[in-house]
Amino acid sequence: MLNRRGIVIYADEFDQYWNKLIQSTNLNVLGIHPVADNAVVGNTQNRDILTVYTDFLNKYKDSIIRLQTLGISVEIEMHALSALLPRSQFTAHPEWFRMDKNGRRTPDFNMCASNKDALEFVSDNATALAKLYTPGSNRYNFWIDDVAETRCFCNECRKRTATDSALTIYNAIQRGLKKHNSLSTQCYLAYHDTNELPKNVVPEDGIFLEFAPMQRDFHMSINSVSSDKNKKELHSLSELLQFFGKQNAQVLEYWMDNSMHSGWKRPPRKFKLNQEVMKADVEFYKNCGFGSITSFGCFLGEDYYKLYGKYPEIDEYSRILS
Ligand SMILES: [Zn+2]
């Protein structure tokens, strides 16, 4: 049996509904994915990601503790760069932010991964984030921004690959987390243009691989030789597993991701789990040595139940991961 079997939902979807639903399965990881309100079409508020996250922690502190005592690890998975390096710092420190391909500094996404002061600032804010919440598993998934091709193109960063820059940032985050929690581990998220081997940077102690093949073909198993997309997603996987180690490696899939299926636009569409593809994928990932497998499961909360009068196929999902 897999050590860790999980599902990742939006922070705002966690309520009594999901609290009960997760307990009815044999899943033992609940990933919470805070997103800024403007990231989902149809949201009515306008909170930034840090506010969404702290609202979640304040509202559900007791439920989180209860789930952890039941053996369900509650972990945070979020694109945290705008919280770790607030864009408001741009006026005072434009050199902390990325240079675009035209040579202009911009606070739109990510950061300059060659600027030591900026990395120090990120590290300090990672310590502050760690103080907000400590998952029982000590696993943190604070990701860089969710936009491909938005690395820094300054002269220093150009000497390195996008994967080098990403790992440099993840190392800085991990250093900060460790200051508060000496047992902390932090992911390196491999997807988009970070789904390659870093060339000039090595992972610091506690960095683990999180593999999220977002560009895959969802109608064929991930190791199907007849899918060029899937072949591309897998082409660095064995190297990545060797580089980061298999021990804590985690898959983040999209089998249950109704937010993706709905185009990240409310209301949620009706969803059907492709069990055959998922079964084949899980077999493949187990054989690769992954002991931790999760999938996004957003847009399957209480509003989905009310709209369609049925629960998502969480039992089937959970059984396939067993
Ligand atoms: Zn740079």
Give 155 Cα–ligand 1 centroid separation in angstroms: 7
Give 74 Cα–ligand 1 centroid separation in angstroms: 34
Q: ω into residue 135 within 30 of 0, thus cis? A: no
Give 85 Cα–ligand 1 centroid separation in angstroms: 14
Determine the pLDDT at residue 100.
Answer: 95
Give 49 Cα–ligand 1 centroid separation in angstroms: 24
Percent of the chain whose pLDDT exceeds 90 = 92
Helix 49-69 to helix 16-23 angle (10° resolution) is 40
CA distance 223 to 26: 26
Task: Tokens for 320, please give them.
Answer: 């396939």
Give 204 Cα–ligand 1 centroid separation in angstroms: 20
Residue ranges of the domains in the chain? 1-79+249-283+293-322, 81-208+216-248
Cα torsion for 284, 285, 286, 287, to the nearest 10°? 50
Give 154 Cα–ligand 1 centroid separation in angstroms: 4
Give 160 Cα–ligand 1 centroid separation in angstroms: 10
Give 92 Cα–ligand 1 centroid separation in angstroms: 17
Give 98 Cα–ligand 1 centroid separation in angstroms: 6
Average pLDDT per 10 consecutive residues for the chain, totaling 322 residues: 94 93 97 91 87 96 96 97 95 97 95 98 98 97 89 96 96 98 98 93 98 97 97 97 97 97 94 98 98 97 94 95 93
Q: Is 170 left (phi over 0), alpha (psi -120 to 50) or beta?
A: alpha
Amino acid at 96: W
Give 193 Cα–ligand 1 centroid separation in angstroms: 16
- Residue range 231-288, pLDDT digits in tens: 999 999 999 999 999 999 999 999 999 999 999 999 999 999 999 999 999 999 999 9
Residue 78 pairs in a beta bridge with: 142
Task: Tokens for 149, please give them.
Answer: 């091709």
CA distance 104 to 87: 15
